[in-house]
Structure 1
Amino acid sequence: MMADTRDKSRIRALHVGPGWGQRGGIASVLEELKGLSDTFDDRGVSLQFAETHDFGSITGAFRFFVFDVPGFVRKLCSGAEIVHLHVSIKSSFYRKFLLFLFARLFRARVVLQVHSGNFDGFVRSSTRLASVATRAFLRRSNALVAVSNSIANALIELGAERSRVHVIANTASAAQRACATVGRNDRAKSTNGPGIIFTGRLVETKGVGDLLEAAALLKAQGLNFHLTVAGSGDLERWSREVERLNICDRVSFPGWIAGEQKLEHYQSADIFCMPSHFEAFGIATLEAMFGGLPIVGTAVGGFFDLVDQGNSGLLVEPSNPIQLADALGTLLADPTLCDQMGRNSRERAYRSFTCIVVVDGYVDMYEQMVKETR
């Protein structure tokens, strides 16, 4: 029988979340972690990844049970001692709960990381089954990760033990690297007036409708600006809304942008706006901060961690186009204030949200978990 030559001092963590070409916040987090694998390795942590299909179709559900579950079990059997489940709401929650049961069956340590800004609302409005599953998740997981203090507080209110809840932010490594040598004075200037940019899913809960209404108010006030609404979603619906509001000359929809193209859009913009109704953290917001943009967001979730109100950006009530227009108008009317907030935003990102800060948070948590149970 061959001897086990694995380094017993290394921590082996299996991260589980959406893959197979899916887009969205959790998929972006997993891509970030994959890119940081060498940094984790240098700290004595080996990362593995298990991707899951969405339940959005019969084909997706079939592939989850036929391919994803057996693949997850194989990786469990290969020596993963920590299973790190990245969880949102609805089908994401139920998929990860099933894998959580397998992980407990194999006596693996479990980390539950919550990425939804409306997780508590989902739990409270769901069936009794979801309520029972949530309690099991919270009580039987060895550690819980909240991507913001707001999420941490929600988990504790749902019954999580405070000492097991860790606040670890998300990262934006590509933006951090690309913007490290670019100052706000190096920005490309738009020929269409001051630029406002939104990047994300084009859905109501991201505040797209609120942003378009705010743009109509700004136009009525005679302010010069151009709004870029970048992302995937029901473009036909939002294009009709732009026509209804008579702001076709002020709004463009470039579609989904990523990588260098996204950073180029940030460099040609003056203000980043994300008027979400719920926001667990805000990776796109952090990217914009690294790019030196002042943030106009909503007073919910992760924005409280990301934005220093009145110093690096402005937060308004969600679902309030009038307040949103006032905040955007304040920055459009005062380029000096806009520039200063942009510099403060960039400094805040490089001070508190760099990759090394996030890696340290994960490694410290893993080491604590292993020390308690080895």
Structure 2
Amino acid sequence: MHNIIITSPSLDPKQNVSGISSVTQFIIQNNKNTQYIHFELGKKDYERGGIYRIGSIFKCLYLWWKTLSRYPQSIIHYNFPLSKASILRDPLFIGIARIRKHKMVIHLHGGNFLTAPHIPFYLNVFLKKVFALPVPFIVLSELEKRLIQERFNCVNINVLPNCVDLKDAEDFEKEANMHNTLTIGYLGRIAETKGMDYLLDACIQMKKMGIPFHLKLAGKEEVKDKYILAFQKELGDHFIYEGVVFGETKNKFLKSLDVFILPSFFEGLPMSLIECMSYGVVPVTTPVGSISEIINNGENGLFINIRDSQSIIQQFDRLNKDRILLSKLSNQSKEYIIRTFNPIIYIDRLNKIYAKAFRSQY
């Protein structure tokens, strides 16, 4: 196997709470027979965006050229979220790799323009150029494959759902919580688009209604002090902020949860969702992106509406009152993930896509 240059934000969870970074870390750690060169692309959580990023992008383009020059025969594994910033930035990097005649795989990771009903004209121009390339594309679900085919007539699409390391989760036996206060958890970027305003409103109402709960948030705020202080002020003893968790600290956090809440406006296939379910944590989530491909409502999780505090309250109150349902969903969510998301199969399928990229001609 040739060297593979793989792009993502920083792999240090203290610098980036990123699903793409988690996927990249998983691939590097599990694909033992492949030599990866990680190219850091994307701002760190504490860095400013907008015009302040222009200088950094030019510097990054220079480093990208140097890296490609150093590994002229390498395959590029390019991680590409369909967000506005990435659509404007990434075609430059992809174009340089194409000019230098590198073989390439483009791996899509959600973003608000993956499932958006309308894509602005100027962004659509960039996307059409990218999807016209004769390279293998990776998407996270059959739904994403259909969307890309219908919108861009792209034919070389490979479905490869995200995967996680299951060793610790497989050994963990979750005890059914039949009587104690339920703990709700969230893991990831703490941001407006993750539905934090609606989660906060739902928790405030549940507190007033006397519904017992504990809420734990883990991750980093997209905008410093926008949410954590509000959760602490409004919820008091009902709320715990765990900070950024990784490794054994993250495993311990996941084991402490009964319910995983994800009221996002858009997603791909969140690593945090798969991780939580693997520990038997019941997912309560919006059915956005590829989430509905792995969650069967009422069987291994529950759906809530986008931008709807009341549906969060209703589903949590339902689980609080019906512990038999809670236990059933817990068992079913873990069983589904352990059965479906096998790291060995994932890596084998990924290497076949690399082989396809290597055989592709310019």
Query: TM-score w.r.t. structure 2 length?
Result: 0.87
The CA deviation string for residues 351-373 of structure 1, in whole angstroms up to 9 with x for no partner, is 11121232122122222333454
Q: Does 1:13 align with 2:23?
A: no
Paired with 2:97 and 2:3, the residues of 1 have a C-alpha distance of 14
Could you list the runs of 5+ residues in structure 2 that have no partner in the other structure? none
Q: 2:357 aligns with which of 331, 344, 369?
A: 369
SS of equivalent residue, structure 2 residue 331: helix
**Which residue is 2:28 aligned to?**
34
Q: How far apart, in 2, do the equivalents of 1:135 and 1:227 lie? A: 43
May I ask how many residue pairs the two structures share in their alignment? Answer: 353
Aligned to 2:296: 308
Q: Does 1:184 align with 2:178?
A: no
**Partner Cα separation in structure 2 for residue 202 and residue 192 of structure 1:** 27
Cα 1:110/1:221, change in 2 over 3 Å: same
Q: 3-state DSSP class of the match of 2:302?
A: strand
Give the match for residue 266 of structure 1. 254
Conserved 8 A contact 1:90-1:122: no
Matches within 5 A, 1:287-326: 287-326=275-314
Partner residue in 1 for 2:214: 226
Q: Tell me: CA distance 1:76–1:90, structure 2 relative to 1, closer, same or farther (3 Å).
A: farther
String of CA shifts for 1:123-156, please: whole Å, max 9, x gaps.
Answer: 944452x322211100114111112333323322
Contact persistence 1:230–1:253 (CA under 8 A): yes
Q: Answer with 309-318 or 82-91: which moved more.
A: 82-91
Confirm whether residue 157 of structure 1 aligns to residue 146 of structure 2: no
Amino acid at match of 1:354: N
Q: What's 1:105 paired with?
A: 99
2:85 alignment counterpart: 91
CA shift, 1:284, in A, is: 0.6
Task: Provide the C-alpha distance between the structure 2 equivalents of 1:255 and 1:115, rounded to a whole number of angstroms.
Answer: 24
C-alpha separation between the residues in 2 aligned to 1:266 and 1:253? 14
Structure 1 residue 239 displacement after superposition: 4.5
Question: Are positions 1:201 and 2:194 aligned together?
Answer: no
State the secondary structure of the residue aligned to 2:158.
Answer: strand
With 258-267 and 361-370 compared, the bigger mean Cα shift is at: 361-370
Which residue is 1:5 aligned to? Answer: none
- TM-fit CA distance, 1:81: 4.3
1:71 Cα offset (Å):
4.1
CA deviation vs aligned residue, 1:28-50 (integer Å, no higher than 9, x gap) = 22222221230xx1xxx443322
Shift of 1:280: 0.7
The separation in 1 between residues aligned to 2:61 and 2:188, in whole angstroms, is 27
Find the aligned partners of 2:50 and 2:150 in 1 and give their Cα distance: 33
* One-letter amino acid matched to 1:49: H
Q: Secondary structure at the match of 2:332?
A: helix
Cα RMSD (Å): 2.8
TM-score (norm 1): 0.85
- Alpha-carbon distance between aligned partners in 2 of 1:119 and 1:58, rounded to the nearest angstrom: 22
Q: Choose the corresponding residue for 2:269, options 260, 281, 286.
A: 281
Aligned match of 1:171 = 163
Higher relative contact order (CA 8 A, sep 6+): 2
Other structure's SS at 2:245 match = coil
Consecutive unaligned residues in structure 1, runs of 5 or more: 1-9
Aligned partners of 1:299 and 1:315 also within 8 Å? yes
1:86 shift after superposition: 0.7
Q: State the AA in 2 paired with 1:178.
A: D
Counterpart residue number, 1:115? 109
Deviation at 1:106, TM superposition (A): 1.6
Contact 2:110 2:289 in 1 (8 A): no
Question: What is the CA–CA distance in structure 2 between the aligned matches of 1:268 and 1:298, rounded to whole Å?
Answer: 22
